[in-house]
């Protein structure tokens, strides 16, 4: 008769299952013990951190009672109240203008103002006031010195200048022409388009040399092209630039000098009413050129900007921001961030210095009773240039990327601080 139930096999199966369950229970117990140890260690570190930060330590029961109230937002607010939210770390704040930067920029601008009053002055001696109250103010000593160059003590022209005058003759050097109003020996370089020491002047010179013409802008703003000779033809394309440069250099040392680049084209501006004589812009340009407002005085006016750039750029080079993180690693975005921020800081300083220099030149013009010879176009030009640069800085496309990098720095610093405090 066969067995109804195989008790032996069933008991063996039950015994095996009990042993297996016992082993699993032991494994779970070991895991619980390990996790309990880790939790205790974490609780100890949190307690140390809470104590260091001055946070009241609550019991587990109290924490459980408040579990439903301790939301993530509340936790964030609590942490913010303890460690604070930084918009920038100290390492990024140094890219902003500091007190010393403001001081250096102010000094540079102040020195430029002093140079404008003491060195630049006006091209020649001017008379201020009328009648018995009239006073004469000496012109620029530096411009006077530049005017003395090109001649020996006995007023003899230097030989190399004579050589240029002899070998760099051009068809557009005509000084008398009844058809061109205002043209005379002392002003023919102002009205001759090719005498303008600029790329535009070079183009007019090439055209005149190739075609044998004389292109002028008369005192009424009328552009005239007069046929002078046969012209050099296509070969003039190669010869004209050399003749133009040599002729310009030789004319610089003459009594009338060479107009400031672009000055010739002011004859096209036949509008405005300035001063007692109600001069137009074109009239003012002629008056200023007659009074010595030429390339040599442009060099003198540039000394104000030379002072600003020398002081500001040397200072910026010496204190150029070089954070430690840029030395320790070579992440491209960090280097580019530092380069952009350093450049912005430099132009902030230049803008401040140029603003002071401009204010000084406005004061100078007022002291000289509105005489246009007191205008320092280099100061005005640099101020406009730096103003445009500031507008570009404020509207730069990299702003958002810079903010992301700065926020990353803040996060890194806060995590490092919390990590260090947790081990104390």
Residue 381 has pLDDT above 50, yes or no: yes
CA 92 to chain CA centroid, nearest Å: 19
The predicted pLDDT at position 1 comes to: 46
Residue 421 has pLDDT above 60, yes or no: no
pLDDT, averaged across the chain: 80
* Better-predicted residue by pLDDT, 73 or 230: 230
In the block, residue with structure tokens 């075609």: 211
- Give residue limits of the domains in the chain: 33-65+72-82, 93-118+299-422, 157-293
Helix, strand, or coil (residue 221): coil
DSSP 129: S
The predicted pLDDT at position 275 comes to: 80
CA atoms within 13 Å, Cβ hemisphere of 122 = 23
Q: What is the mean pLDDT of residues 26-34?
A: 71
CA atoms within 13 Å, Cβ hemisphere of 345 = 25
Helix intervals (H) in 376-398: 377-394
The pLDDT tens digits for 91-113 are 555 667 788 889 999 999 999 99
The predicted pLDDT at position 234 comes to: 86
Q: CA–CA separation, 147 vs 252, rounded Å?
A: 9
Choose among 101, 119, 115, 114: nearest CA to 352: 101
Instruction: State the sign of the Cα–Cα–Cα–Cα dihedral 407, 412, 417, 422.
Output: positive
The pLDDT tens digits for 11-24 are 566 565 666 666 66
Q: What is the mean pLDDT of residues 243-251?
A: 93
The least confident of 92-101, 184-193, 237-246 is: 92-101
The pLDDT tens digits for 157-186 are 889 988 998 899 998 888 888 888 888 888
pLDDT band for 312, please (50, 70, 90 cuts): very high
Helix intervals (H) in 173-235: 188-191, 199-211
CA 13 to chain CA centroid, nearest Å: 86
Q: What is the mean pLDDT of residues 76-81?
A: 55
The predicted pLDDT at position 112 comes to: 96
The predicted pLDDT at position 342 comes to: 82
Q: Which residues pair with 215 in a beta bridge?
A: 225
Largest CA-CA distance found in the chain, in angstroms, rounded: 155
The predicted pLDDT at position 340 comes to: 76
Q: CA–CA separation, 423 vs 33, rounded Å?
A: 23
With 0-12 / 13-18 / 19 or more C-beta atoms within 10 angstroms meaning exposed / middle / buried, residue 50 is middle
The least confident of 94-98, 147-151, 351-355 is: 94-98
């Amino acid at each position: 008769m066969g067995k109804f139930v195989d008790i032996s096999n069933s008991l063996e199966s039950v015994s095996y299952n009990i042993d297996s369950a016992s082993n699993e229970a032991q494994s779970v117990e070991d895991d619980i013990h390990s996790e309990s140890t880790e939790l205790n260690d974490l609780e100890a570190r949190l307690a140390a951190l809470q104590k260091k930060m001055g946070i009241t330590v609550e019991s587990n029961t109290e924490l459980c009672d408040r579990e439903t109230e301790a939301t993530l937002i509340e936790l964030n607010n609590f942490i913010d109240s303890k460690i604070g939210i930084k918009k920038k770390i100290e390492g990024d704040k140094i890219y902003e203008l500091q007190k010393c930067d403001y001081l250096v920029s102010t000094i540079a601008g102040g020195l430029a103002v002093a140079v404008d009053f003491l060195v630049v002055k006006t091209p020649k001696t001017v008379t201020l006031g009328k009648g018995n109250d009239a006073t004469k103010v000496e012109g620029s000593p530096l411009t006077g010195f530049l005017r003395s160059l090109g001649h020996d003590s006995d007023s003899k022209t230097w030989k190399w200048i004579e050589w240029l005058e002899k070998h760099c003759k051009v068809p557009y050097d005509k000084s008398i022409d009844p058809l061109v109003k205002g043209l005379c020996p002392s002003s023919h370089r102002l009205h001759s388009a090719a005498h303008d020491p600029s790329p535009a002047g070079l183009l007019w010179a090439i055209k005149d040399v190739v075609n044998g013409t004389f292109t002028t802008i008369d005192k009424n703003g009328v552009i005239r092209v007069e046929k002078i000779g046969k012209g050099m033809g296509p070969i003039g394309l190669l010869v004209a630039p050399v003749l133009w440069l040599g002729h310009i250099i030789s004319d610089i040392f003459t009594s009338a000098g060479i107009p400031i680049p672009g000055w010739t084209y002011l004859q096209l501006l036949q509008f405005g009413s300035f001063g007692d004589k109600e001069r137009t812009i074109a009239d003012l340009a002629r008056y200023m050129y007659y009074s010595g407002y030429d390339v040599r005085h442009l060099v003198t006016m540039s000394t104000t900007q030379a002072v600003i750039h020398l002081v500001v750029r040397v200072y910026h080079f010496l204190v150029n921001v070089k954070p430690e993180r840029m030395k320790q690693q070579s992440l491209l975005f960090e280097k580019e961030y530092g380069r952009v921020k350093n450049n912005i800081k430099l132009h902030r300083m230049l803008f401040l210095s140029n603003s002071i220099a401009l204010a000084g030149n406005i004061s100078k013009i007022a002291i000289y009773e509105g005489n246009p010879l007191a205008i320092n176009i280099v100061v005005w030009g640099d101020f406009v240039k730096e103003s445009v640069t500031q507008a570009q800085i404020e509207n730069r496309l990299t702003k958002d990327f810079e903010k992301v990098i700065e926020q990353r720095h803040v996060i890194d610093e806060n995590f490092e601080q919390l990590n260090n405090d947790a081990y104390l």
